Amino acid sequence: MSILVVGSVAFDTVTTPFGEGKEVLGGSATHFSVSASFWTKVKLVAVVGDDFTPAHRRPLLEHDVDLGGLVVAPGRTFRWVGKYGYDLNVANTLDTQLGVFAHFSPVVPEPWRETPVVFLANIDPDLQADVLDQVRGPKLVAADTMNYWIDSKPESLKRLLARVDVVLMNDAEVRQLTKEPNLVRAASAIRSWGPSMVVVKRGEHGVLVFAGEGAFALPGFPLEEVLDPTGAGDAFAGGFMGYLARAGAVSSDSMRRAMVYGAAMGSYAVAGFGVRGFEGISHADVTARVREFTDLTHVPAAEPIE
């Protein structure tokens, strides 16, 4: 099954203790699309300005992302400026310039409206809802968001969450949205608004997933070199949704496997600025990392202690 994604396509300027990326290709939909493209066909709905050149499109085209819904509008492409300290789990936003996104009304091309899997990557929740209004009978809808939208549009966000199956947010955002410090209680509050599954991203500490009666946890992959964590959450979502779309069915087992694919893709995203962490990565590399991940988390059945 293919995936329809709406989200930001951006120029990011990012400083970490290990370097700087200036106006590199980023944005939630970009990171998601590159990651999910390893598993399935991705159709992208977004807007860029007239400063977006053919060279900026190249990484997306190289991953065979369908840009049939990428509109070029007069004005400037979305820009985000962020900085990380040694705690790479905390992104400090220094500047957000919506540019052409401020006046964007997404239009899902008619042939894409029956796409079975929809990912609403981080962007204005009203634009995420506009896309949902146009699709017909999707089998799985997931959404991501961030503190910027929790601060500026909390009511729109809550209305959107009532319409999605899965929500992915980081731990600080889950607490901020619910005003509940305990993650278990915060996740149940969010589930009471609509989504049957809440994926809490915890940076290098991995993910905590609340679905059905219980919870499921995965660590982050232990990496020696992390250059830039920007986009790790979107790459996680790309692996997770890409695997589910490829598997074609959503069950408790496939959800758990999808998490491992998500974690593996997130581990590539952090290896470079922009989408460079994915340069030269093959399907076989990802499969090997998924296997390493399975070994990392495997616990042999306990012998009974008499």
Q: Does 232 participate in binding ligand AMP (rule CB under 6 A)?
A: yes
Evaluate whether 194 touches 200 at the Cβ level (below 8 Å): no
Assign 222 to helix, strand or coil. Answer: coil
Binders of ligand AMP among residues 87 to 106 (CB under 6 A) are 96
When the beta carbons of 15 and 122 are compared against ligand AMP, the nearer one is: 122
Longest dimension (CA), the chain: 74
The region of 48-56, 108-116, 176-184, 231-239 touching ligand AMP under the rule CB under 6 A is: 231-239
3-state helix, strand, coil in the chain (%, to 5): 40, 25, 35
Q: Does 24 participate in binding ligand AMP (rule CB under 6 A)?
A: no
Q: Does 168 participate in binding ligand AMP (rule CB under 6 A)?
A: no
The region of 4-12, 109-117, 218-226, 255-263 touching ligand AMP under the rule CB under 6 A is: 4-12
When the beta carbons of 66 and 234 are compared against ligand AMP, the nearer one is: 234
Q: Does 242 participate in binding ligand AMP (rule CB under 6 A)?
A: no
Judged by CB under 6 A, the residue of 13, 16, 178, 230 near ligand AMP is 230
Q: Does 262 participate in binding ligand AMP (rule CB under 6 A)?
A: no
Structure tokens at 169: 């947010």
> What string of H, E and C letters represents the secondary structure of 45-113?
EEEECCCCCHHHHHHHHHCCCEEEEEEECCCCCEEEEEEECCCCCCEEEEEEECHHHHHCCCCCCHHHC
Length of the chain: 306
Query: CA torsion sign, 78 to 20 to 170 to 58?
Result: positive
Evaluate whether 228 touches 273 at the Cβ level (below 8 Å): yes
How many residues bind ligand AMP (CB under 6 A)? The answer is: 18
Q: Does 27 participate in binding ligand AMP (rule CB under 6 A)?
A: yes
When the beta carbons of 98 and 197 are compared against ligand AMP, the nearer one is: 98
Judged by CB under 6 A, the residue of 6, 123, 168, 186 near ligand AMP is 123
Q: Does 148 participate in binding ligand AMP (rule CB under 6 A)?
A: yes
Cα-to-chain-centroid distance, residue 197: 15
Q: Does 122 participate in binding ligand AMP (rule CB under 6 A)?
A: yes
Binding-site ranges for ligand AMP (CB under 6 A): 8, 10, 12, 26-28, 31, 80, 96, 122-123, 146, 148, 230-234
